[in-house]
Amino acid sequence: MFQQLSDKLQEIFKDLRGHGVISEANVDAALRQVRLALLEADVDFQVARRFVARVKEKALGETVLRSITPGQQIVKIFHEELTALLGGDSAPLRLQDKCRILIVGLNGSGKTTSSAKLARFLKKQGHFPTLVPCDLQRPAAIEQLVTLGKQIDVPVHAPEPNEKQVQRAVAAAVRSADTPGGPNIHIFDTAGRQEINEPLIQELKELKEFLDPQEILLVVDAATGQQAVSVATHFNDALAITGIILTKLDGDARGGAALSMREVTRQPIKFAGTGEKLDQFEVFIPERLAGRILGMGDVVGLVEKAVEAVEAEDAALLERKLRTASFDFNDFLTQFKMMRRMGPLENILGMLPGMSNVQGLSVDEKQLKRTEAIVLSMTKEERMRPDILNARRRQRIARGSGCTVTEVNELLRRFDQMRKMMKNAGKMKKMMKQLQGLSR
């Protein structure tokens, strides 16, 4: 989402770092470009103006302009201010026993999916959430939440078929929390509209008064640009929201809403949806996003994704196979699935420092699927013993995977090269150990 903004900012700072000495004129020129880059990324005009003013005030300090690396100092200031603009530290939910969380937002922002994602997140933390559909006007909303609840094994307290009053349906759900062993967190998925109107706001106000929720989370589509800021302002003025869930951060829109939201509402962004799948939901950590926008990567986030996606035993087994060069196509398939669980590979590469500067970073997901199809078209024996793959077998695999024989041959060639490299690495390691023994 922030690729265009990231590219422009990195180009501006690259030019600044190229100067041995920086003058006030250099800083002014650079920050003019920064302001334009922010506005082009759909950042609110007032937010961009105030942000640039804060950076300028610090960047023109005597300690910065007279330092040995003034360009690096200004980048550091920009990173700190960008982190502050996004909210500073992450903001956890204010959870307590029998907690109530109200999810609000416009239609199409991703409220229902975000409600299920949040329930899954809280369940993994050891809580016992339940989902409560409050949109009784749109039957599909209830059905969708019930379906999502089954996928994550979280109960959904659906209203009776003849129930028309939201408060009665909600009251029945709340009473379930009083039963022994009942849920300790209720997540209420409220009704939305195509645009903000008085009936919607009034309904939400009455629901808030009735429930007295500990959290009111506004779900905002990060791709809606300047409109998202207006939406957030209206909901905040009417309901006093306690936090924001930004959805569709995996999209290719300009993403200025994410940079404007905290400053406009004074409420923290608590979670971010990074994809359509229910596990693509994470705590929003401002410092990490600021680092990614500036091309610094997010190694901590990458490690966390790896820990969640890869079982320790699988990782140890894979390490042994790589070390002994006994890696086969079954292991290749296992490793492939591990990577898939971590999310889109393009996003994973973007978390590595400096990778955003690499031209043509895009990953062809279709090619990855073709590669997986080729391996899945092999028999178990063929995956274990690639050496038996003669011309006839390769033709069968090509037909089964919908690929050409050339693509099958190319995959086998690259796989053979990888195994040879691992074998050579193993020999080198063994030789180094022998040399270390002789030197003692």
Domain residue ranges in the chain: 3-85, 99-296, 322-438
Task: Provide the whole-model pTM.
Answer: 0.66
CATH 1.10.260.30 describes domain 322-438? yes
The fold for domain 3-85 equals Four Helix Bundle (Hemerythrin (Met), subunit A) (1.20.120)
The count of residues in the chain is 440
Instruction: Answer yes or no: are the C-beta atoms of 298 and 291 closer than 8 Å.
Output: yes
186: left (phi over 0), alpha (psi -120 to 50) or beta: beta
Give the count of alpha carbons within 13 A of 414, CB side only.
Answer: 7
Choose among 226, 298, 219: nearest CA to 255.
226
Q: What is the largest CA-CA distance in the chain?
A: 85
Instruction: Tell whether domain 99-296 is in CATH 3.90.1300.10.
Output: no
User: pLDDT in tens for each of the 440 residues of the chain?
Assistant: 577 777 787 787 777 776 666 777 878 888 888 888 888 887 888 888 888 888 888 877 766 656 656 667 777 888 888 888 888 777 888 887 778 899 998 888 888 999 999 999 999 888 888 898 887 777 687 888 889 999 999 988 876 655 556 666 677 666 665 565 666 888 998 888 777 778 888 888 888 888 888 999 999 887 776 777 788 888 888 888 999 998 887 665 566 777 788 888 888 889 988 888 888 888 888 887 777 777 654 444 444 454 454 555 555 555 555 555 567 787 777 776 666 665 555 555 555 444 444 444 455 567 778 888 998 999 988 988 888 999 999 999 999 989 999 999 988 888 887 777 666 655 545 544 544 443 44
